[in-house]
Each structure stands twice: as C-alpha cells, then as structure tokens.
Amino acid sequence: MAEERRGSWFGFGFCGFGQALGSGRGRQVHSPEPLATPGPGADVCRVSASWSYTAVVTRERPSPPHFRPRPGGVVRPPPSQPSAPAGGGQLQLSGAADGAAGGCRDAWASEALLVVLRAGPADGPGPELQAWAPGSALRGEPLWTHTLVPEAGREDAAGGEPQARALPLLPGARAYVSPRPPFYRPLAPELRARRLELGGEHALLLDEAGQVFSWGQGRHGQLGHGTLEAAREPRLLEALQGLPMAEVAAGGWHSVCVSETGDIYVWGWNESGQLALPTRSLAEDGKTVAREAGRPNEGDSDMRTVGSEDGAPAPFIAIQPFPALLDLPRGAEAAQASCGSRHTAVVTRTGELYTWGWGKYGQLGHQDTTSLDRPRRVEYFVDKRLQVRAVSCGLWNTYVYAVEKEESGPPQPRA
Amino acid sequence: MAEDNHEPLAGASALREALWALLPPTKEELVPELGEEVEAGVARLLREAAALFCGGRRSACLQASEAVLDYSWEKLNTGPWRDVPKDWRRVYALGCLLKAACLCHEPGDAPAVAEALRVCDMGLLMGAAIHGDVLLKVAAVLQAHLPAGKRPGPAQEQPSTKKARNDGVSVPDVASERQVPRLRCPSLQHFRKQFLAPGRPVILEGVVDQWPCMTKWSLEYLQEIAGCRTVPVEVGSRYTDEDWSQTLMTVNEFISKHLRGESSDVGYLAQHRLFDQIPELKRDISIPDYCCLGDGEEDEITINAWFGPRGTVSPLHQDPQQNFLVQVIGRKYIRLYSPQESEALYPHETHLLHNTSQVDVENPDLERFPRFAEAPFLSCVLSPGEVLFIPVRYWHYVRALDLSFSVSFWWS
C-alpha cells in the first residue's frame, strides 16, 4: 500500500487581522502562500476561517489517514481532509482572536462565537462542546458547554466515511450549533444528516442518501426551491431528487453541491458571479466572461459566453432560485466545494482548484483582485506540481490543502 | 464659487477645512458605543480606521474603512431589511464618512470629490443617522465644491416633445369610467367626515398651489440642485417583471439616460425618500394640512419621490397607510379599487407580493382572472397641482402619461 505523502496548507485572500495566511504581511494575499501558522510540517486536519480570525486544528502525533473504497467497489480519491484524531489535537487561533488549546477534535470559527469540540475521556462522558467568545483567547470559562453522548464507534464505523462529521453538525447528527441563539439546535433524527453547512441566512443539509435539504431565508434564491419564500424547517430539494450528492457548501447567499458523479449544481445570489452565471455588475465593468488576455484556457469552447453570435446581449442572472448544472472547463469532475461569502472554490478529482465569484481581496488566487463570473483554474498549484485535495473558505479568503504530485502513473487503488 | 481644476490646492484646502469642522475631533468621539450585535472584530477595525484617520494615515484608513464597508454591507443584506440592527447601519454610515473624508484628504480633483459624494449618498441611502446627520452636511459641502456640473444636451430642450419610447401609447378613455370626485380646498371636518373616515378617494384641488415646487421644478432645476447626487433607480417595466432590477446612478445620469435619452429600458426613480437625502428639495414642498387629522407625528410621515418618464407603471397594489399623492410635473392615469373588491383582484399568494394584484389592469387576462371584469373602480387623470387621497389599503394602479414627478405622503 502506497503511503500518502504529507501535504500542506496554503491560503490566499483577506488577512487584514494578521490571520494565518501566507507571510502575515499586508492585508491581502492574491496568490497562494504556505500557511504561516501553525507553520510548515504541521499535520493540520481542520481549518475553519471566520472573517477576522482562523482556527486551525492539528494532530498531536502524526498518523496516516485510513483509506477505504466505498462499498460497491467504486474507487474514490483519498478523503479531502485527514480525519481528526480520536484523542483530540491542538487548536490554534490566529488573527483578531488568538490563543491555543489541546484536546480538540474539531473547531468552528464565526465572528460571534468560536465552537470547539473537546475530546472526552476514553470511557467517560462523551466529547464536550464548548462555545467561546473569540476574544477570550480560550482562557477562563467558555460561554456555554454541552456534553455529548459518547457515540458508538467513531470514524471507523463500518461503511462510514473516514471523514469526520464536521462542525457545525454535531457528532451523532442529532443537532447542530448556530452562531445565533439558540446555539444548540436539534435536528429531526429521520433527517440522518451527513453534513451541514451554514450560510449567511440559510442552512444546507446533506443526508446519508445523498439528498439535500435547505431552510432559512430565501429572498436571494439560496434555498433552491424555485421561489423567494423562506422555509422554517428543512425542506427537500426536489429538483435534485434522483441525483445523489456527495458534498454541499453554503456561501453568504448561495449554495453549491457536488454530485457523486462529479457534477456541480449552484443556486442563490449571483451578484458577483459566484454562481458562474453572467452577472450585470461585471458586464458593466467590462469584465464579464471575456477571453482574457494572458494565459489561454484550453477547453473554453464549452464555456458559456456573454453575447451570442448575433450580438444580442445574453441575459444576466441576479438570482437563480433553483439548482443549475455548472460545467467546469475540460470536462473536469468535482470532488469537493467550499464557499466564501461571495465566492466559490471547487477541487476536482484530478487535483485542480477552480475559483470564481468576488475577488476584491484576492480570494480567488489568480494574482489579482478582479471578480469572475466563470470558473478559472488556480494556476499556482499546476505550476508547482501540487495536487489539491481539499479547500476550506473563510468569508473573504480561501485555504487549500495540497500534496506533491506523484511522479508516475495514475493513482493506484488503495487497499 | 466654481472650482478650477487647474488650481486644486487652493480649493482643496478650503474643502478640507470645511469637512474637518464637521467631524468629531477625536477617534473616541468618531466611533460611538456599539451594541452587542456588532462583533468584536469589525468594531476593532472600525476604531482602528478612526485612529488612522485622526493620525493622518489616509491610505491605511481607506483600506480599513473599505473592509468595514464591505463587511457591514454583508450584514445589511442579511435577513429582512426591517430587521437589520440599526447598529450595522451606523457602522456602514461611519465607514462611508471615513472613506469620503479620506478621498478629499489630498488636494482633490473633481472625480475624487464626486466619488466622495457618491460614498456619502451610499451612507445616506443604506446607513443610519450618525453624529447629528453629519453625512447630510458633508454631502452639502462636497456638492458646493464640485464644478457646476455637466449638463448633457441643451438646457432649453423640452423632453416631453422628444420622440417617446412608446409612441402611440394610449391615453385611456377616462370619460367613460366612473370618476374620482374633485373638491376645491375642503374644510378639515368635511374631508374627515366624507372621505377619511369612510375611506373614500377624492382629488383635492387648490391645496398645493403655493408650494414652491409647482413653479420651480424642472429638469434643469433638479439637475442644478441634485445632479451629482446618487439615487436608486428601478429598471424594467414593472416590479413584477422578471427582468426588473434596481440600480444606483446620479440624478444627472438618470435624467440623461431615462428622461432625455432614447434608452430602451424604462428607468423609474420610484418610492425614494429623496427629501430626506437632499434637504434643499424639501424646502420646495410642505405637508398637506389634512395629515394633522391622523394619529401619528409629523416626523413619522414618509415622503417619497416618484420621478420618471412617460410609461412608468405601478402595478395594482395596496399600502398599509393613508396616502396623499401630489402631482407636480406631468399627468398620471390612476385606477382605484376598494379593499372590498380584493378577491376579484387576485392578489399574489406569496408573502413577498401579497399586497400586489396578479392582474395587468389595462390588459387583463380574463380567462385567468374572470372576476376582475366585474369589479367596480374609480379612475382619473391626475394633473399638476392636484392631490389624490388614496385611503389606506385602497388598491391603486398608476401609469404615467407624461414625464412625471409626484410626491407621496404616507401617514396614519
């Protein structure tokens, strides 16, 4: 069995509070840089970025992640983020909030609240959920705590994904944590949640069967039910029925999901092109879609362009109220997606990273601050011969986990 | 006093002094206490921006203010507008204040001052009042330091004689429809007893004859007073259409593009509290006396401007307050349906549009909406100098027959 090379994390975008990105100089980074905190060589298993600070969880001691093919024999790429160690690792904050703590399995950063999942003792009460004021530097007492039921079997549950269920979804998937009161929010058990993502004013849930549910505000179309109405309870995305999803991601006012076959679906607000649909704001700045000067992108022929052959202007889409299928260049298949407040990042199965949407703070990683309403590959990783494995967006920045490319041959199936 | 672009230093220092006099002198006074809704990170950045400003570090202050603006803008767009905590709107306004002040820091040229004015207007449109309405005062100072403003096209041009976008647009056969009654200066008691209490529409004549707007307002005058001010404009035939959108532009741009120009898009400066934004225009209007018959305070009355080309349409809808619609420029065709007829008007079922009818009044789809044909209504052509009383929740449909400027007063 081939041993997975340790990868490392990179970041780009807004770092006006001195958070973990790059060298820590300046307020913005426009091209990927290795993380300054916790430093090269650290075994980071979770990056959660809020607007003014970033939380990073590293393992106490290195251990190779487990790989296993999904039941049914379909080989998938290695898990996007190495699983959190059962005993809990080290949590480090950087930016407007600082501090560190041990025994942490997971962390979730927001401006109002830092949520930490502390490992419980092996045979005692279960893990403890703690909510801290970000400015507390993890000293003193948390704002509130909640002891969870010790779950039977953790990441090694038969048939389960090696990837831990991440905050804000709580282990056991019976509830999730919210940055606004009430902080502890139960989920109906029949939902069988696998992943939960919180947007600016909505929530997305992916269940064990690959179905997507949404609830919250709908005025920007982010719920995907075809209307602008709000939903108080989780409501099934009927437009996606029959298409099992593997990943979901929620931005400020938009939603993205990735199917098991590698297709991307987007819906919600497109004001900065975050849905990769033509947007009026960029057209008026003369920036929409064009064949850009400089590096040509192969495979552009299957990209939608603004302006059809007869010169009639293509319709601009401000709000997309139900899922739309999005094609990446070169027919690339998606593996994982993450959203900032107004931008989108997607990792492909072949280890490329595509970004689009709002780019004012360099969060797209294309060495400039222009916004884009179509996907563009982040060439840094191609140039450095790095395979991107995971992406995690803060509001205005993007964190990427990548490993060095293998020298030869296609990826081998791993036992 | 017109500014000469070739002597930026002389004018610019006068501008700076005028601005400095308006601003709180210390960073502690610049940023007031903010509630718990405003998180520690952004509060800290805002205070840092204020400190940078007071320390003369313009470029760094601009960067910090920009981030504060972008972050608070996201909060302003989260959740229903009426639920946005006022402190977020204050933060946004403070960001605008700092940014505008920084843009005028250096010996300015007209584009920088125009941009600073645009930023002030953003703070006025989306922010909440800070430091005793300082943004209004800053806007007035900036406006005074802008060159007299480019006027597109000859000043004498009469836009109403220009080729209209929709030539052959119909003037309805109003004579065949039941008319809204007209009264000349009725007494307060008469108005209350016959119209306000029973909720009956009426056109009041002679009530606004002395208002300065009746004689002063023209496109040239409006451009002179407010030409470089940024205002919200609705683009698209009607707000129930799919391709309807809202955008921002200066009054000059609005007039040249949508009133004088041949734009294929209908642009409507609609339902905008222009008189809160530009106090100088407020001096040209007053408050109808009959508003004193209501329960509310005078400063609770919402005054909206409705300024647009021929052909703007407000689909049939109802409002939750009493309304006086004052017609200043041009004529409007208006149809009124009683709230008792609501079922025959087929309101939208969504919460967002539940106060709007699905029926296109002048081109109704009677197969889908059969009962509409039988619903009784009143109609009128409202002309300059006339005031239409629209009782609370009375359904109304409005189409401009000419280039039009109306002022509405929502009161309770």
State residue A281's pLDDT score.
Answer: 84
Tokens of A56: 């990073």
Which of A52, A229, A317, A358 to substitute to test the interface with B, most B CBs within 10 Å?
A52
Q: Do B79 and A201 touch (CB under 8 A)?
A: yes
CA torsion through residues B352, B355, B358, B362, sign: negative
**Is the CB of residue A252 less than 8 Å away from at least one CB of chain B?**
yes
User: Residue A161: which of A97, A71, A229, A238 has the closest Cα?
Assistant: A71
CB contact at 8 A, A394 and A2 = no
In this prediction, residues B335-357 reach a mean pLDDT of: 93
Over residues B349-375, the pLDDT tens digits come to: 988 789 999 999 999 999 999 999 999
- Residue B376: helix, strand or coil by DSSP? coil
φ, ψ dihedrals at A99, nearest 5°? 130, 170
**Is the CB of residue A65 less than 8 Å away from at least one CB of chain B?**
no
Is the model's pLDDT at A72 over the cut of 80? no
State residue A292's pLDDT score.
Answer: 34
Q: Which residues of chain A have a CB within 8 Å of the CB of B78?
A: 200-201, 217, 252
Name the one residue in this structure whose structure tokens are 């006027």. B151
Amino acid at position B162, single letter:
K
Q: Which residues of chain A have a CB within 8 Å of the CB of B77?
A: 200, 252-253
Is the model's pLDDT at A176 over the cut of 90? yes
Longest CA–CA span in chain A (Å) reads: 71
State residue A308's pLDDT score.
Answer: 40
Is the model's pLDDT at A188 over the cut of 80? yes
- At residue B13 the predicted structure's pLDDT band, cuts being 50, 70 and 90, is confident
State residue A287's pLDDT score.
Answer: 54
Name the one residue in this structure whose structure tokens are 């679906």. A265
Name the one residue in this structure whose structure tokens are 């401009």. B400
Contacts with A137 (C-beta within 8 Å, 6 or more apart), sequence order: A93, A97, A98, A99
Q: Quickly count: other Cβ atoms within 10 Å of residue A142's Cβ.
A: 19
CA nearest to A340 within chain B: B74
Chain centroid to CA B330: 18
Tokens of B252: 């000059």
Give the residues across from A399 on adjacent strands: A11, A392
Q: Which residues of chain A have a CB within 8 Å of the CB of B61?
A: none
CA atoms within 13 A on the CB side of A49: 33
Tokens of A349: 């199965």
Tokens of A257: 């999901």
Q: Do B39 and A253 touch (CB under 8 A)?
A: no
Tokens of A260: 């098991």
CB contact at 8 A, A234 and A213 = yes
Q: Which has more confidence, A273 or A21?
A: A273
CB contact at 8 A, A267 and A320 = yes
Q: Report how far residue A283's alpha carbon sits from residue B230's, in angstroms, rounded to the nearest whole number.
A: 20
State residue A164's pLDDT score.
Answer: 52
Strand A99-109 versus strand A89-95 pairing type:
antiparallel
User: Residue B104: which of B25, B37, B13, B165 has the closest Cα?
Assistant: B13
Strand B332-337 versus strand B322-329 pairing type:
unpaired
Mean pLDDT lowest among A356-360, B12-16, B28-32, B196-200: B12-16
Q: Do B45 and A17 touch (CB under 8 A)?
A: yes
Over residues A101-160, the pLDDT tens digits come to: 999 999 999 999 999 999 876 667 788 999 999 999 899 999 999 888 776 444 433 333
Q: Report how far residue B32's alpha carbon sits from residue B16's, in angstroms, rounded to the nearest whole number.
A: 23
State residue B3's pLDDT score.
Answer: 42
Q: Report how far residue A78's alpha carbon sits from residue A413's, in angstroms, rounded to the nearest whole number.
A: 10
Over residues B156-169, the pLDDT tens digits come to: 444 444 444 445 46
State residue A366's pLDDT score.
Answer: 97
Strand B313-317 versus strand A175-177 pairing type:
unpaired
- For chain B, how big is the Rg over CA atoms in Å? 23
H/E stretch holding A258 reads strand A254-259
Contacts with A236 (C-beta within 8 Å, 6 or more apart), sequence order: A211, A212, A213
> What is the DSSP-derived secondary structure letter of residue B61?
H
Is the model's pLDDT at B251 over the cut of 90? yes
Instruction: Using CB atoms, pick whichever of A52, A133, A201 lies closest to residue B78.
Output: A201
Where is mean pLDDT largest: A310-314, B166-170, B240-244? B240-244
Q: How far is B20 from chain A (nearest CA, A)?
A: 28
Amino acid at position A188, single letter:
A
Q: Report how far residue A120's alpha carbon sits from residue A117's, in angstroms, rounded to the nearest whole number.
A: 9
Over residues A26-59, the pLDDT tens digits come to: 688 999 998 876 766 678 889 999 999 999 999 8
Q: Which residues of chain A have a CB within 8 Å of the CB of B74?
A: 200, 252, 341, 395
Residues across chain A: 415
Q: Which has more confidence, B246 or A157?
A: B246
State residue B29's pLDDT score.
Answer: 93
Mean per-residue pLDDT of chain B: 90
Q: What is the DSSP string of B318-337?
A: --SSEEEEEEEES-EEEEEE
Q: Which residues of chain B have a CB within 8 Å of the CB of A396?
A: 70
CB contact at 8 A, B30 and B50 = yes
Is the model's pLDDT at B257 over the cut of 60? yes
User: Residue B196: which of B308, B298, B94, B321 has the closest Cα?
Assistant: B321
Is the model's pLDDT at B6 over the cut of 70? no
H-type helices in A216-308, by residue range? 280-284
State residue B145's pLDDT score.
Answer: 85
Mean pLDDT lowest among A192-201, A347-356, B156-165, B396-405: B156-165
Over residues A100-109, the pLDDT tens digits come to: 999 999 999 9
CA nearest to A218 within chain B: B79
**Is the CB of residue A27 less than 8 Å away from at least one CB of chain B?**
yes
Q: Quickly count: other Cβ atoms within 10 Å of residue A59's Cβ.
A: 19
**Is the CB of residue A229 less than 8 Å away from at least one CB of chain B?**
yes
In this prediction, residues A162-180 reach a mean pLDDT of: 82
For residues B92-126, one letter each, b for 16 or more C-beta atoms within 10 angstroms of the residue's C-beta and e for the rest, the string is bbbbbbbbbbbbbbeebebebbbbbbbbbbbbbbb
Q: What is the DSSP string of A268-286?
A: EE-TTSTTSS--HHHHHTT
Q: Report how far residue A166's alpha carbon sits from residue A109's, in angstroms, rounded to the nearest whole number.
A: 12
Is the model's pLDDT at B129 over the cut of 60? yes
- At residue B240 the predicted structure's pLDDT band, cuts being 50, 70 and 90, is confident
Q: How far is B91 from chain A (nearest CA, A)?
A: 16
State residue A120's pLDDT score.
Answer: 74
State residue B341's pLDDT score.
Answer: 96
Is the model's pLDDT at B31 over the cut of 90? yes
For residues A174-184, one letter each, b for 16 or more C-beta atoms within 10 angstroms of the residue's C-beta and e for the rest, the string is bbbbbbeeebe
Contacts with A384 (C-beta within 8 Å, 6 or more apart), sequence order: none
CB contact at 8 A, B14 and B59 = no
State residue A405's pLDDT score.
Answer: 84
In this prediction, residues A172-188 reach a mean pLDDT of: 91
CA nearest to B349 within chain A: A229
CA torsion through residues A403, A405, A407, A413, sign: positive
Q: Quickly count: other Cβ atoms within 10 Å of residue B392's Cβ.
A: 16
State residue A323's pLDDT score.
Answer: 98
Over residues A74-98, the pLDDT tens digits come to: 444 544 555 555 667 899 999 999 8
CA atoms within 13 A on the CB side of B6: 0
Strand B378-382 versus strand B230-235 pairing type:
unpaired
State residue B352's pLDDT score.
Answer: 79
How far the first Cα of chain A sits from its last, in Å, is 6
In this prediction, residues B2-21 reach a mean pLDDT of: 65
**Is the CB of residue A227 less than 8 Å away from at least one CB of chain B?**
yes
Tell the burial category of B387 from Cβ atoms under 10 Å away from its Cβ (0-12, 13-18, 19+). buried
Q: Which residues of chain A have a CB within 8 Å of the CB of B352?
A: 219, 228-229
> What is the DSSP-derived secondary structure letter of residue B260?
I
Is the model's pLDDT at B247 over the cut of 70? yes
Instruction: Using CB atoms, pick whichever of A111, A217, A252 lies closest to residue B39.
Output: A111
Is the model's pLDDT at B262 over the cut of 80? no
Q: What's the complex ipTM?
A: 0.86
**Is the CB of residue B242 less than 8 Å away from at least one CB of chain A?**
no
> What is the DSSP-derived secondary structure letter of residue B341?
G
> Structure pTM?
0.87
Q: Report how far residue B280's alpha carbon sits from residue B277's, in angstroms, rounded to the nearest whole number.
A: 9
Q: Percent of chain B at pLDDT above 70?
A: 90
Residues across chain B: 412
Opening angle at CA B52, ends B46 and B53, nearest 5: 90
Tell the burial category of A250 from Cβ atoms under 10 Å away from its Cβ (0-12, 13-18, 19+). buried
Q: Do B63 and A27 touch (CB under 8 A)?
A: yes
State residue B71's pLDDT score.
Answer: 98
φ, ψ dihedrals at B382, nearest 5°? -85, 125
User: Cis link prior to A168 (omega < 30° from 0)?
Assistant: yes
Q: Which residues of chain A have a CB within 8 Å of the CB of B44?
A: 52, 96
State residue A127's pLDDT score.
Answer: 86
Is the model's pLDDT at A1 over the cut of 70? no
> What is the DSSP-derived secondary structure letter of residue B105?
T
- For chain A, how big is the Rg over CA atoms in Å? 20
- Residue A7: helix, strand or coil by DSSP? coil
CA nearest to A269 within chain B: B77
In this prediction, residues B336-349 reach a mean pLDDT of: 96
State residue A195's pLDDT score.
Answer: 95
Contacts with A44 (C-beta within 8 Å, 6 or more apart), sequence order: A8, A9, A35, A38, A56, A57, A58, A401
Mean per-residue pLDDT of chain A: 83
- Residue B182: helix, strand or coil by DSSP? strand
Q: Report how far residue A233's alpha carbon sits from residue A214's, in angstroms, rounded to the nearest whole number.
A: 8
- At residue A175 the predicted structure's pLDDT band, cuts being 50, 70 and 90, is very high
Q: How far is B410 from chain A (nearest CA, A)?
A: 26
